Amino acid sequence: MNYQNILFEIKNHTGIVTINRPDKLNALNGQTVSELEDVFSEIKNNSEIFVVVVTGSGEKAFVAGADISELNKLDVISAKAFSEKGNRIFREIETLGKPVIAAVNGFALGGGCELALACHIRFASENAKFGQPEVNLGIIPGYGGTQRLARTINSARALEIILTGDMVSAEEALRIGLVNKVFSSAELLAKTLELAEKISSKGQQAIRFALKAVKATDNISLTEGLAYEASLFALVCGTEDFKEGTAAFLEKRKPNFKNH
C-alpha cells in the first residue's frame, strides 16, 4: 500500500513504521492517523513480520502531538469522533498480537507520547522529550494519555505531567519508568532493531503468547491471570517450537525454530 505521511519497510522480520511529516515535527493529522490504521492492518496480516518498530522522521521529533491546526476546528461532536478514532487505532496497535517497540527520537508530546504509550516497549534518544501539553491548549489528552500514562508510571507523577503540561527529559523518563532504555541519537535505531531481531529469533508462538499473557494484566485479576497463563502455557507446549527448544537445550545446540 502507498502512504503519504508514513514510510514503511520490512527488514529481517521487523516492520519499520516511520511517521514522516518532519516539517511539522511529525504531528498526527487525520490523514496520518488513518494511515497508521492501514499500516498496522497490513502488518497484522503479514505473517513475515514478527516485530514492529515505530519511529519519527528527522532528528527532532518522534511525534509532536495531534495536528493543532486540525484540533482548532473541532466542536463537541467532531471532538468525540476524533478522540474515539485515535483511541480505537492506538488500541489496535496495543492489541496487535506482535511486539511493538517505540524508538522515540525526539519530541513525544500529546498524541506522540500517547502513541509511544500504546507501544509495548519504549527506547529513547538522549534528546527525547515527553509530555502531555494539552492543558496548555485548554484541552485534555484524547488518545489515551490519561489512562495509559497513569497505568505506566506512578499515578501522582502522571497527574503532575498532565496537569502542568511540562516536558520530561529522556533521563527523567528513564528514572520514572516511562522508557526502557536511552541511547545517543546515532545509536537509537540500530539498538531498537537489535532488540527487534533478538525477539524475532525466538519461537514466535511463545512470543505471541507471552505478550498476550502480560497485556492481559491490563484487564483481569491475578486469579484470572494465573488461570489464563496456565492455559497459554499448556497450548504452547503443543507446538513444534517447544519440542525443538527443549531438545536443543538438552543436545547442547542452538534451537532451530520453525519460523526460521
Sign of the CA dihedral with 171 first, then 172, 176, and 179 last: negative
Question: CA 162, CA 193: separation in Å to the nearest integer?
Answer: 31
Please report which helix (H) or strand (E) contains residue 191, including its range: helix 185-200
Q: How far is the CB of 71 from ligand COA (least distance, A)?
A: 6
Q: How far is the CB of 164 from ligand COA (least distance, A)?
A: 13
Q: How far is the CB of 62 from ligand COA (least distance, A)?
A: 11
Question: CA 97, CA 59: separation in Å to the nearest integer?
Answer: 29
> Toward ligand COA, which CB reaches closer, 14 or 32?
32
> Toward ligand COA, which CB reaches closer, 40 or 107?
107
Annotated active-site residue 114? The verdict is yes
Q: Please pick, among 92, 134, 160, 197, the residue that the annotation labels catalytic.
A: 134
- With beta carbons less than 8 A apart as the criterion, state whether 137 and 71 touch: yes
> Toward ligand COA, which CB reaches closer, 54 or 199?
54
Annotated active-site residue 197? The verdict is no
Exposure class string for 99-135: b at 16+ Cβ within 10 A, else e: bbbbbbbbbbbbbbbbbbbbbbbbbbbebbbbbbbbe
Q: Please pick, among 114, 126, 171, 194, the residue that the annotation labels catalytic.
A: 114
Distances (CA, A) of 151 to 57, 107, 129, 158, 182: 28, 21, 19, 9, 21
Q: How far is the CB of 27 from ligand COA (least distance, A)?
A: 4
Residues that bind ligand COA in the complex, under the rule CB under 6 A:
24-25, 27, 64-69, 107, 109-110, 133-134, 137
Report the residue count for the chain: 260
> Toward ligand COA, which CB reaches closer, 14 or 105?
105
Q: How far is the CB of 82 from ligand COA (least distance, A)?
A: 11
Question: Nine-digit cell at 109?
Answer: 508530546
Work out the number of other CB atoms within 10 angstroms of the CB of residue 193.
Answer: 19
Task: Output DSSP code: residue 180.
Answer: S
> Toward ligand COA, which CB reaches closer, 71 or 103?
71
Best CA proximity match to 99, nearest among 118, 74, 86: 118
Q: How far is the CB of 112 from ligand COA (least distance, A)?
A: 7
> Toward ligand COA, which CB reaches closer, 15 or 106?
106
Q: CA-based Rg of the chain, rounded to a whole angstrom? A: 19
Catalytic positions, written as ranges = 114, 134
